[in-house]
A and B are shown apart, each in its own frame.
Chain A
Amino acid sequence: MTARATAVRPTAPSHARRNASIAAVAILVIWAMLTVGVDAGKLLRLPGQLVQIGSRMFPPDVEYIGTAWTGMLESLQMAWVGTLIGAVLSLPLGFFGAKNISSGFASNVIRQFLNAIRAFPEIVLAILLVTIVGLGPIAGALAIGIHSIGTLGKLTAEVIEGIDPGPVEAARAAGGRPIQIQRWGVLPQVLPDTVAFWLYRFEINIRAAAVLGIVGAGGIGAVLQNTVVYRRWDKAGMAIIIVVVITILIDFVSGAIRRRIIEGGSGASAQPELIEADGEAG
């Protein structure tokens, strides 16, 4: 412990590997920039173009607020219904996908199924669904719903895998049937996190719903596309303001609710309330 010999300065740790990876990334980026085939002239004209577009967007066409609001409302409805479809279907899948609840084989199968759903791009789903159920917000809601099953199911399964096994044992020791064990031993533990994920997914789905209109699946997307493609910048400006304001507003409210759910704002009573919430909604 006590060194009498003169202290030797430790050798500095080698940075060779770090420097090599930084160099490799730099080379990759430079290669991409040189070969991607971007016209430098276009890039130079960009600032001027953006200033021009910006100056035409503002002041926006205030009379267009009605159309923009109707489109945004439809996007919100799509996102709501889609999130609900995802939430309802992902909950049982989450239980079957959790290794500690379900069997190893079944959970693997379910997890791979959820991965496959997640890998399927939402917009492609929407395009396919438009050909199946027709143009309109239902295609969008279904696309959002199917995609949400993948993400929510995975998150739910992960939350369930992290539970405290005590309540499950207690429920079993008290003679609970399998369903009762899940209901009283598992569900109360995972519900706050799961509901918070649903809300968070709703926030994400609002953004997705704003995109899907481009392929005819309803919502504000079609409004955005039409105004921008036909260069009705004053109308586009109004639509953008609506999208931004509503999205930020809902993020804010949803974020506040999520924090309250996770932290249990009113102390101990927060959790039992949520258990009841599921009992009645499910």
Chain B
Amino acid sequence: MSAAPAARPAPPGRSAALPIGLLGFLAITIWAGISIDFNPIEIIEGIGGADRIVGALVQPNWSFLPNTAQPMLETFQMAVIATAIGCAVALPLAFVASRVTSPNRVSYILDRSVLNVIRAIPDILYALVFVSAVSIGPLAGILALILFNIGVVAKLLSETVDGVDTGPIEAARAGGAGRVQTVGASVLPQVMPNYVAYSLYTFELNIRASTVIGIVGAGGIGNVLNTQLKFFNYSNVSVVIIELFVFVFVIEFISIAVRRRLV
């Protein structure tokens, strides 16, 4: 276009945000490292003592397997119940927490805040409080998992609802549908595959969370794991970990197959 020699474009201006951000990052890192006494040399020296544990972990004691059957079944049952109830409760909460389907601004903000609080409370705290309220056993674990699941599913699903195609919603409204009818006829079919996928994902999370939940006495395989760890029976611990791994792997496999069929 122009006959003049091409001038080299000016380099983009340097923003002050980067050096300031980096300095902040370094400062936080040094502060955090010093505060928790993070000393790499000491850690590497300590790891020398790990060979006994690792040695036991790589030699799983398979004769322990029958002892884990009943607690594993309990974990499975707890996960089934908590997933069913948690996902059912999360469904309406997710619709109210999305700008697309929320009845009004007040309910939107209120629901979002409640969900944020539910998600901010760690699962172990739910377990502790419910153990305290209904004593040890699977009920406390199920209740803790339900709250944990509501937080996860409602958040994921509300984000999916935010992204739906609004055409069907307008069509339903134009057809004279009420609010619930609109959601049921035009939004729910669009997010259904995701909802099922999130439910399966939650089920998997529940199996994983059972290790944490069981430590405070809320039932399932976590109780066994905790006892074996306390008695330093790492060969038995290894069996439980491998079992959980297989369990999670199978669920993931099923989940992928189901999702492929749905989407």
A-side interface residues toward B, CB under 8 Å? Answer: 25, 28-29, 32-33, 35-39, 42-43, 45-46, 49-50, 53, 73-74, 76-78, 80-81, 84, 116, 119-121, 123-124, 127-128, 131-134, 136-138, 141-142, 207, 210-211, 214-215, 218, 221, 224-225, 228-229, 231, 236, 240, 243-244, 247-248, 251, 266, 268-269, 272-273, 276-277, 280-281
Beta-carbon contact of B122 and A243 below 8 Å: yes
Beta-carbon contact of B124 and A38 below 8 Å: no
Of A43, A80, A268, the residue contacting B12 (CB under 8 A) is A268
Collect the chain B residues with CB atoms within 8 Å of residue A136's CB: 36-37
State the interface size on chain B (CB cutoff 8 A). Answer: 66
Residue of A at shortest CB range from B88?
Answer: A29
Residue of B at shortest CB range from A209?
Answer: B122
Beta-carbon contact of A224 and B128 below 8 Å: yes
Of A28, A53, A77, A123, the residue contacting B80 (CB under 8 A) is A28
Of B38, B133, B215, B234, the residue contacting A138 (CB under 8 A) is B38
Query: With A39-B139, A43-B134, A132-B50 given, can you name 10 additional A-B contacts, CB distance below 8 Å?
Result: A29-B81, A76-B32, A77-B32, A77-B33, A132-B46, A132-B47, A210-B122, A211-B123, A273-B15, A277-B18
Distance to closest chain B CB from A257 (angstroms) = 9
Of A38, A134, A142, A280, the residue contacting B22 (CB under 8 A) is A280
- B35 interface residue, CB < 8 Å from A? yes
Of A33, A142, A248, the residue contacting B117 (CB under 8 A) is A248
- 8 tightest Cβ-Cβ pairs between the two chains A and B: A77-B32, A247-B120, A137-B36, A49-B133, A32-B77, A32-B80, A119-B245, A121-B211
Query: Can you name 11 A-B residue pairings with CB atoms under 8 Å?
Result: A42-B135, A77-B32, A80-B29, A116-B245, A119-B244, A211-B122, A214-B216, A240-B121, A243-B122, A244-B120, A280-B22
Residue of B at shortest CB range from A142?
Answer: B43
Distance to closest chain A CB from B250 (angstroms) = 12
Docked complex Cα distance between A269 and B245 (Å): 44
Collect the chain A residues with CB atoms within 8 Å of residue B143's CB: 46
Docked complex Cα distance between A190 and B77 (Å): 41
Beta-carbon contact of B117 and A244 below 8 Å: yes
Beta-carbon contact of A207 and B122 below 8 Å: yes
Of A43, A121, A269, A276, the residue contacting B241 (CB under 8 A) is A121
Docked complex Cα distance between A131 and B233 (Å): 13
Beta-carbon contact of B125 and A224 below 8 Å: yes
Beta-carbon contact of B81 and A33 below 8 Å: yes
Collect the chain A residues with CB atoms within 8 Å of residue B49's CB: 132
Docked complex Cα distance between A277 and B22 (Å): 7
Beta-carbon contact of A42 and B139 below 8 Å: yes
Q: Is the interface of A mostly helix, strand, loop or mixed?
A: helix
- B167 interface residue, CB < 8 Å from A? no
Residue of A at shortest CB range from B216?
Answer: A214
Which residues 73-96 of B sit at the A interface, judged by CB distance below 8 A? 74, 76-78, 80-81, 84
Docked complex Cα distance between A81 and B32 (Å): 7
**A121 and B212 contact, Cβ closer than 8 Å, known pairs A28-B80, A276-B18:** yes
Docked complex Cα distance between A77 and B34 (Å): 9
Beta-carbon contact of B124 and A224 below 8 Å: yes
- B13 interface residue, CB < 8 Å from A? yes
Collect the chain A residues with CB atoms within 8 Å of residue B117's CB: 244, 248
Docked complex Cα distance between A32 and B192 (Å): 24
Docked complex Cα distance between A218 and B37 (Å): 12
- B263 interface residue, CB < 8 Å from A? no
Docked complex Cα distance between A281 and B135 (Å): 49
Residue of B at shortest CB range from A218?
Answer: B36
- B53 interface residue, CB < 8 Å from A? yes
Of B12, B22, B120, B241, the residue contacting A119 (CB under 8 A) is B241
Docked complex Cα distance between A243 and B120 (Å): 7
Beta-carbon contact of B36 and A119 below 8 Å: no
- B59 interface residue, CB < 8 Å from A? no
Docked complex Cα distance between A243 and B123 (Å): 12
Docked complex Cα distance between A45 and B42 (Å): 50
Which residues 16-71 of B sit at the A interface, judged by CB distance below 8 A? 17-18, 21-22, 25, 28-29, 31-33, 35-39, 42-43, 46-47, 49-50, 53
Beta-carbon contact of B18 and A273 below 8 Å: yes
- B225 interface residue, CB < 8 Å from A? yes
Docked complex Cα distance between A43 and B143 (Å): 10
Docked complex Cα distance between A134 and B97 (Å): 44
Beta-carbon contact of B125 and A240 below 8 Å: yes
Beta-carbon contact of A128 and B53 below 8 Å: yes
Of B13, B137, B139, B142, the residue contacting A269 (CB under 8 A) is B13
Collect the chain B residues with CB atoms within 8 Å of residue A228's CB: 125, 128-129, 132
Collect the chain A residues with CB atoms within 8 Å of residue B123's CB: 211
Collect the chain A residues with CB atoms within 8 Å of residue B245's CB: 116, 119
Beta-carbon contact of A81 and B36 below 8 Å: yes
Beta-carbon contact of B139 and A84 below 8 Å: no
